Chain A
């Protein structure tokens, strides 16, 4: 797995990111000399006079999408499965409809709807230039006004956006200024240097049902109180059973819920995600072409079939009824999939391991307050390190991850510029029960009861840890059992509690979890999005390292629990990283990982497995699918694999 991506190409994410504005060759010359080709179904519509010719539908400087194997051919249906309306990120991952997007290996950001993004010398101003002549899927022009509508009427409207998202907030809390320069150029003006702008922009699609940073303003204004006729708007709200126009606007803006809403993606919804079959059809105005001048996408239609249950979806994949599926394929089914692959030859299976971090960690709650004695133990670094040594990771890897992945701590992957080296990545991961026992003795937990379980010092009370685990993703409940067995072996009584995920989340928020099993998938993005290393994103975010620390930061130190020095240092590093130059960012990320592991903030178990949507079932005729791929939510996998250039042979 290591070295699967070209190390030479990875000079450092941000180095490349910053160079990008200029490094993308402008295909304008090509646009003037080349004639473009289009899908037969569109050519027919052009002949019938229902559609303008392809040259008029494409922007002046179309995006040239490199193909993985070869130039493809048009046609075909891509069958995929989904689990209902709540599974809309399934759609967002496939279309990845954003101004700029992450590269397949996830180490740089490429232009998509924007033709260039240029920072000022001090990184306070970012100039975004759109592709001239690009059009929405309904044929209406895509311009700077579509970004200004988002800025003025969504972001700055308190009814729609009650709280400014982090990337649009200056350090003094004021909103970042966005201004229109000309019809296709928009500038973001920050008060401080911002070196993470491109990475943020690469995630401002409609994923997670947020408002994208560019919106079909002409279409959406009819649902916005600032533009629509009030009586008419009120009637629309009532008819759709909503209570406010904001709810209506949000629903009508979300493409999977509303096929009428124009998009810029390669495929546009033809039915709704609340239907049994969620169908996407090719966008005749998509801005991408291949190197031969064929307008993309190659594949005509995507069919998402509804499954009430993930197991039924897995069965359909095994039966060869899905053409490409990574999401909801359970790693536990990997052996069955391989067996059937060889027998039926209806599909092939490839693996896209996670983008660093861990696929299973145990996290101890350092602000646990219900049992202060236990909480104090969790705060003891040596206690956490001892518990890390007590875990037999190879056994867990073999029996629950089918031998895939490797024992490691939650830090960047070896192929990533932020990789801090094996000394950090493998620290405390050796199975050393004797050392664990020695350390537990050394911190005073020497007295044991008749069954050999350690007692709280000076009492006859057993130390008992509850691991809360959610049956999400993969084999987490089994991992919890093995960890419990390992911890019992060094005298720490451990109970595994399998919980419904809503209850687990509720308890995490209310600071009621003692410990949990979760994953850390943010190692490639410590400065953007919702990094799991940042205690301020704890509440809804992520890990239960210390829920009360967030309250402390939110209240300016009046409530919650004051974090220890190392946690304060983490926050400092993350904030510095947001405006540091690329070389500094690499150094800062490495320091961050060092602190995270040295203090055992999170006991990493196994990482780099294909657990999270990394077991990929493919129709053998489907070509141009990259055999290796950076796989993570910020990368919108499989969207970063450029599905518009996939084709059937």
Chain B
């Protein structure tokens, strides 16, 4: 077990090096560069820039060096743990990402808990009461949940909330708390706003998880060990929870590590549509504006967390299910 973990950790730098090349290639893939998209943005809001101004902007943004030089500089800094500077924000990337991190993690945790608290019981109920009216209701809801893109759901909710109640459900805070320092009142304000995005982000996962849980559990319920346990007189729900649920939940546990990068990424489209102050819109902005150092930094952290998350999943799985062996 320990050997596997150590091996995996040793592989990490190599994987990240490969990722860094991929990330930079992808960030650079769209035509033009930061300056082109910067000037295009200015023009699309009414101003136009002349040659002298373009020359000045190049110097002001440090873009007068050839691309290769800029890339090598970025890599060197990255090796020293320095994420560099965001071109658009003109602030250090580490500082920016740190600023957005808290709310990103809080929102992701909320929707994670929402998903699991709802999906596991619903899945168990559906499996133990197959073809019951409630099972059918849950099944239909699940299909809708899986099939509806969550940004669509967000738009519908926003529209509904506005046309019936005249409120806009965007953002995570009331205006007076947006810039305020953390306080009890601010936390309460956050709790008042967070449930809508929590549901929107969590709903598709909930539906998917419920379906998987139901299917897995149905497979287990007919196995001989269940019949044996029942014959021995175990009460029905203790039986179900103690044996088949633990087996059925395995595939889900194995995906738990994948939540680590998700915790960090923020739900990109939903967060943009609902105007949530998390890392999703920050990344989208950086990609669209070709703010290569910021986009690169976020994607590198994302890659790092994915690798670590997968490793954690494996460790976790081995712990939950003693049948799993890690030797090669």
Contacts and interface: CB of A to CB of B under 8 A. Distances in A.
Interface string B275-317: 1110001001100011000000000000000000000000000
A473 interface: yes
B285 A308 contact: yes
Given A271-B179, A276-B277, A504-B40, A246 B59 contact: yes
Counting chain B CB atoms within 10 Å of each CB, which of A207, A208, A242, A632 scores highest? Answer: A208
B52 A502 contact: no
Interface string B76-105: 000000101100111111001000000000
A246 B58 CA distance: 11
Contacts of A246: 59-60
Interface residues of B, number: 62
Contact of A312 (B36, B91, B273, B290): B273
Contacts of B49: 208, 530, 540-541
Given A162-B56, A473-B44, A276 B179 contact: yes
A164 B52 contact: yes
A501 B272 contact: no
A505 B50 CA distance: 14
B17 interface: no
A86 B162 contact: no
A327 B45 contact: yes
B218 interface: no
A85 B56 contact: no
A86 B289 contact: yes
A207 B42 CA distance: 10
A3 interface: no
B32 to A, nearest CB: 4
Nearest to A534: B50
Interface in A293-333: 303, 305-309, 311-312, 315-316, 318-319, 321, 327
A94 B89 CA distance: 20
B166 A344 contact: yes
A86 B42 CA distance: 8
B50 A540 contact: yes
Give the bracket for the number of chain A residues in contact with chain B: 35 or more
Counting chain B CB atoms within 10 Å of each CB, which of A344, A530, A632 scores highest? Answer: A530
A502 B55 contact: no
A155 to B, nearest CB: 10
Interface string A507-527: 101000000000001100000
Interface in A74-95: 79, 84-87, 89
A166 B56 CA distance: 13
B44 A241 contact: no
B233 interface: no
A530 B90 CA distance: 26
B84 A241 contact: yes
Interface string A348-389: 000000000000000000000000000000000000000000
B50 A530 contact: yes
Nearest to A211: B56
Nearest to A309: B272
B274 A84 contact: no
Contact of A315 (B73, B90, B170): B170
A319 B168 contact: yes
Contacts of A251: 60, 90
Contacts of B84: 241
A247 interface: yes
B287 to A, nearest CB: 11
Contacts of B42: 89, 208
A521 B46 contact: yes
B48 interface: yes
Contacts of B284: 308
Contacts of B228: none
Contacts of A243: 62, 73
Contact of B47 (A89, A163, A240, A311): A89
B57 interface: yes
Counting chain B CB atoms within 10 Å of each CB, which of A210, A211, A276, A613 scores highest? Answer: A276
B41 interface: yes
B30 interface: yes
B167 A159 contact: no
A222 interface: no
Interface in A454-493: 470, 472-473
B199 interface: no
B62 A505 contact: no
A542 interface: yes
B166 A319 contact: yes
A409 B306 CA distance: 56
Contacts of A163: 51-52, 55-56
A305 B171 CA distance: 10
Counting chain B CB atoms within 10 Å of each CB, which of A160, A210, A309, A472 scores highest? Answer: A309
A160 B31 contact: no
A214 B178 CA distance: 34
A251 B271 CA distance: 29
B38 interface: yes
A206 to B, nearest CB: 12
A250 B56 CA distance: 10
Nearest to A307: B275
Interface string A269-308: 0010011110100000000000000000000000101111
A539 interface: yes
B51 to A, nearest CB: 6
B277 A241 contact: no
Contact of A506 (B32, B92, B285): B32
B179 A274 contact: no
A274 B89 contact: yes
A85 B38 CA distance: 11
A244 B62 contact: yes
B190 interface: no
A540 B47 CA distance: 11
A532 B51 CA distance: 14
Contact of A505 (B39, B57, B162, B166): B39
A537 interface: yes
Interface in B162-221: 162, 166-168, 170, 175, 178-179
B175 A209 contact: no
B40 A502 contact: yes
Contact of B175 (A79, A165, A211, A257): A79
A56 interface: no
A612 interface: yes
A305 B44 CA distance: 20
B144 interface: no
A48 interface: no
Contacts of A208: 42, 47, 49, 53
Contacts of B31: 502-503, 506-507
A271 B168 CA distance: 25
B158 interface: yes
A584 interface: no
Nearest to A522: B48
Counting chain A CB atoms within 10 Å of each CB, which of B48, B62, B272, B274 scores highest? Answer: B48
B49 to A, nearest CB: 5
A161 interface: yes
A504 B179 CA distance: 37
A247 B272 contact: no
B184 to A, nearest CB: 20
B15 interface: no
7 contacts: A161-B52, A166-B52, A279-B179, A306-B275, A311-B273, A503-B30, A506-B36
Interface of A: 79, 84-87, 89, 159-166, 207-211, 240-244, 246-247, 250-251, 254, 257, 271, 274-277, 279, 303, 305-309, 311-312, 315-316, 318-319, 321, 327, 344, 470, 472-473, 500-507, 509, 521-522, 529-530, 532, 537, 539-542, 612-613, 632-633
Given A241-B82, A271-B179, A275-B179, 14 more contacts: A159-B59, A160-B56, A244-B62, A251-B60, A306-B277, A308-B272, A502-B30, A502-B32, A502-B40, A502-B290, A503-B31, A504-B40, A505-B36, A540-B48
By Cβ-Cβ distance, the 6 closest A-B pairs, closest first, are: A502-B37, A472-B44, A250-B60, A308-B281, A633-B46, A241-B85
